[in-house]
Amino acid sequence: QLQVVESGGGLVQAGGSLRLSCVVSGRASRPYAMGWFRQAPGKEREFVAAISWSGGSTYYADSVKGRFTISRTNVKKTVYLQMNNLKPEDTAVFYCAAGPGVRTPLQQDEYDYWGQGTQVTVSS
């Protein structure tokens, strides 16, 4: 069982930056990929970024490519999402998820463990 806790959300002006953190605790039976997803008001939750266990493979939604960077440190069991040049349309609750045995990192149902979410609000 893994527990996932996000932090780092907040209010920022358009063009600003935030760094989200996600700490994983517990014991995994196998290596796990990590993903960030977000849900804006009135919309479905969508994929943002994902990273493999080794960190050697990263994946991004087209809407955030070039602005967001996902990274991880397995020693600290932490995953980060550095968000630069934020836009009002990035406003959402951001969720971190862990997925042992993920084959398709962009698919939400591949992830077994989810955090409670952290609010990111970007003002224009």
Residue 115: the pLDDT is: 97
Dist. CA 8–CA 89, nearest whole Å? 18
For the chain, the average pLDDT equals 95
Phi, psi of 108 (to 5 degrees): -60, -40
Dist. CA 10–CA 21, nearest whole Å? 12
Q: Is the separation of the CB atoms in 55 and 71 below 8 Å? A: yes
Dist. CA 117–CA 6, nearest whole Å? 6
Residue-wise pLDDT tens digits, 60-100: 999 999 999 999 998 879 999 999 999 999 999 999 999 98
Q: Is the separation of the CB atoms in 91 and 30 below 8 Å? A: no
Residue 104: the pLDDT is: 85
